[in-house]
Structure 1
Amino acid sequence: MSINIRGFGVDKKVKLVKDWKWAEKVSFLAIQETWRSDIPDSDIAQFWGRSGWYKEVVDPVGRFGGIMCIWDPGMFSKSSVIKDPNFLLVSGVLKGSMDVVNIVNIYAPQKPIDKRSLWARLLSVKNGHPGLCVFLGDFNVVRRPEERKISKYKPACAREFNNFIFEAELCEYNLKGSKFTYLIEGPYGKKFSKIDRILVCKAFHNLWPEACVLSLTRGQSDHNPILLTIKNLNFGLKPFRFFSSWLDRQDFDQVVEDKIKAWRDELRVKEGETEVHAKEELEELEAVIEDRDLSNEEEWVRLECKRKLNSIEDNRAKDLKPRARLKWAMEGDDNMKFFHGMVNKNKSSNGIPGLLIDNVSESKPSKVKKSVHDFFRDKFKEDLPSRPDLLCAFEKSLLEEDAFMLSDKFSKVEIKAAVFECGSDRALGPMVLI
C-alpha cells in the first residue's frame, strides 16, 4: 500500500494508517512525506502491532519530504537498498516466489527540471536491477488532461512522464474505487488530480494480470491510499478455450474425429427433432389464435417455439460463414510475447477484482456476486407497491378490462415477449437501426 501521509506522528493519521493496515491486511507499506528524520520504533508499533516488521527510511530535505518503507519479514525478504532524496528502492524476494522484486517508493519534486532528472535516475535504476519492478508513490504529475479537475494541466510534464513510462516499459492497472487520488481546497473550489499511482513492469503484469489497484477512502487526509493486491480470485469456472499447442499433440486428430464428429451427429439429430416439434406446436397455436386469444401459458409456448426456430436458423447461418480464426489456429502467432501481453491487458482491464460495499472494500467472490445481483434486482423492483386510481367522469371511457390492463403490473410473460420481439438488436435507443 502507498500513502502520502503529509506528516508522520499525528495521532489522527496514525489511527487512519492502523485502520487501513488491519482492514486490508497490508504486508508492505510505502509512505511519502514523513516530514521527520527521527521516527522511533514505538511510533511504528502503534499502527503495525506486535507482529514483526522491518523498515528503511530516507530523511527529509529541510522541513518537507521524507520516505519510509515498512514490511512484514514473513512476506518479503530484503536483499539490498538504494536511497535517493526522491526515492527509496528496496529489493528482495516475495514469500513463495523465487523472483527478485524491486519496490521503488517515490516522492517526486515539484519543479519540472527536477522531475526530468528524477525520471532519468529511475530509468537507470530500472535498467540496472534485473527482476520484477514496482514503482509506487506520489509522482506529482498526471498523464492525461482528464486526470485533473479545476487545476492546471502541464502538457510538457505529462509528455516527459509518459516518455519515462514508455522507455522503462512499465504498465499501469486500472484504478478502482475513485477517479482521483488527491483533493485540495482552493480559492475556486475543490481541486482534484491523480498524482498517486502504481506502475509495474511487463513481467509483473504478465505474472499477475488479474491484480487490482484500489483507491481507498482518504478519511482526514488529502491523499487517497493506493492498495495493490495480487491474490487470485476464483469467480467460478471459466469458458473452455482451445490452445494452438494441442494441434501438436499426438492422437489429437483422432480425438477430434471420434469425439467431435459423434457430438456433431448427435447434435444434428437433437436439433432436427427440436425443430420439427417446435414447428408442429407453432402451427397448432397459429390455428388456435384465429379463433380465440391465447392464454399466458400458450403465448409463452408460442414465443418459445419462435425463439428455438430463430436460434436454429442463426446457428446454420454461422456455420456458413468463413472461419477467420482457423488460419491462426493452424499457423500460430509470430509474436507470442505481444499476443500474451494484449491478452493479459484485456484480462486486467475487464476483471472485477472487488467492490466497495458499504464503504468497505470487498473482494470475496460470493459477496461480490451477491452485491451485483442485488444492484440489478433493485433496478427492476416495483417502486410503488400500490398505484393510485384515476377517477374521471368522462362520457367516453375505456372498458373495465382495458382499464385494468393499463394499470395492472407487467407480467413476466409480457416482459419476456417484449425482449424476444426485439430480435437480434436488444434494447434499441432513439437511433433505431434501419
Structure 2
Amino acid sequence: MNFLSFNIRGIHGGAKASWIKSLRISNKISIIALQETKVESVSSACCASFWGKGNFESACAASVGLSGGLAWIWDPAVIKIETVVRNRYYLILKGFIAGDGNPINLVNIYAPQSTSAKLQLWNDISAIMDPDVGFWVLAGDFNAVRSSEERKNSSFKPVCAENFNNFIFSNGLLEYPLQGRKFTCIRDNGKKLSKLDRFLVSPDFLTNGRRLV
C-alpha cells in the first residue's frame, strides 16, 4: 500500500495530471491525496487523468471559491471505504484494508493560515480521532512547521509550532520521514522555504511495509 500526497494548486492542467500519473505508475501508488483543487467538485474523468488505467474510486471536498478543495483517489482492490467525512479543511475516508480487514482512517488536510484557525482545526480532528478504531494516516499541507529549522527566510511562529507539536504528541502520531528535499514549499523565486507537507501516522501503521511518498 503506497501513498502519494501533493498540493496541486489547481487541479486543471494536463501537465500536472500527466506528472502525477507517471509518479503513481512508477511508484506503484494505490492511494492519492490532493490538496488545493480549487474546484467545488472533481469529476471522475478528471480523476482518471491523474490515475491512468485501472479501477479507482474517489471523493472530494469542495473549495470555497478558489480557496482549498481536497480529493482522495484510491484503488478499491486495496482499501474499501465505507464512510466519507467532508469539511472545508479536511476530507476523511473510513474503511478497511482489503485482504487483512484492518480498519483504516485516512485524513487529507489543507490547513488554514491563521494560528487560531489551525488550533481549532487540530482540536476538531483530535475530537474525531479514536486510536482504538484502526490505523490513522494524516496527509497533506498542514501549513505549519514544527521548528525554526523548517523555515528559511520567512517568519517562524513559536506558538503555532507548539500547537502543532502538541496535536501530534497528544494523538500519539509519528511523522513518517520522507525522502528528497528538506523543504516542500518554495516561494518568492526560491527565497522563502518551508516544510509544510508531511505524513503523520499511528505507530502501528508501518509494521507491514507500507510506503508514503
Q: TM-score, normalised by structure 2?
A: 0.93
Which residue of structure 2 lines up, in the alignment, with residue 4 of structure 1? Answer: 7
* Deviation, structure 1 residue 168: 0.6
1:199-235 CA-to-partner distances (Å, cap 9, x unmatched) read 0012324x34x6554xxxxxxxxxxxxx1xxxxxxxx
Structure with bigger gyration radius: 1
Which residue of structure 2 lines up, in the alignment, with residue 133 of structure 1? Answer: 136
Which residue of structure 2 lines up, in the alignment, with residue 15 of structure 1? Answer: 18
How many angstroms apart in 1 are the aligned matches of 2:86 and 2:64? 13
Q: Percent identity?
A: 39
1:300-339 correspondence to structure 2 within 5 Å: none
1:147, 1:193 within 8 Å by CA — same for their partners in 2?
yes
Structure richer in helix, relative to its length: 1
Q: Which of 67, 71, 82 is equivalent to 1:64?
A: 67
Which residue of structure 2 lines up, in the alignment, with residue 81 of structure 1? Answer: 84
How many angstroms apart in 2 are the aligned matches of 1:143 and 1:111? 15
Given the alignment of the two structures, is residue 169 of structure 1 paired with residue 176 of structure 2, yes or no?
no
How many angstroms apart in 1 are the aligned matches of 2:132 and 2:94? 9
1:134, 1:200 within 8 Å by CA — same for their partners in 2?
yes
Residues 27 and 212 (structure 1 numbering): CA distance in 2 closer, same or farther, change over 3 Å? closer
1:102, 1:129 within 8 Å by CA — same for their partners in 2?
no
Which residue of structure 2 lines up, in the alignment, with residue 414 of structure 1? Answer: none
Structure richer in strand, relative to its length: 2
How many angstroms apart in 1 are the aligned matches of 2:128 and 2:50? 31
Which residue of structure 1 lines up, in the alignment, with residue 195 of structure 2? Answer: 194
Which residue of structure 2 lines up, in the alignment, with residue 114 of structure 1? Answer: 117
How many angstroms apart in 1 are the aligned matches of 2:132 and 2:82? 12
1:15-414 correspondence to structure 2 within 5 Å: 15-127=18-130, 130-185=133-188, 190-205=191-206, 207-208=207-208, 212-213=211-212, 227=213
Q: Which runs of 4+ in 1 moved over 3 A?
A: 210-213
Q: Which amino acid aligns with 1:161?
A: F
2:128 partner SS: helix
1:135 partner SS: strand
Q: Which amino acid aligns with 2:79?
A: F
Q: Which amino acid aligns with 1:147?
A: E
* Deviation, structure 1 residue 91: 1.0
1:173, 1:212 within 8 Å by CA — same for their partners in 2?
no
Q: Which amino acid aligns with 2:107?
A: V
2:56, 2:76 within 8 Å by CA — same for their partners in 1?
yes
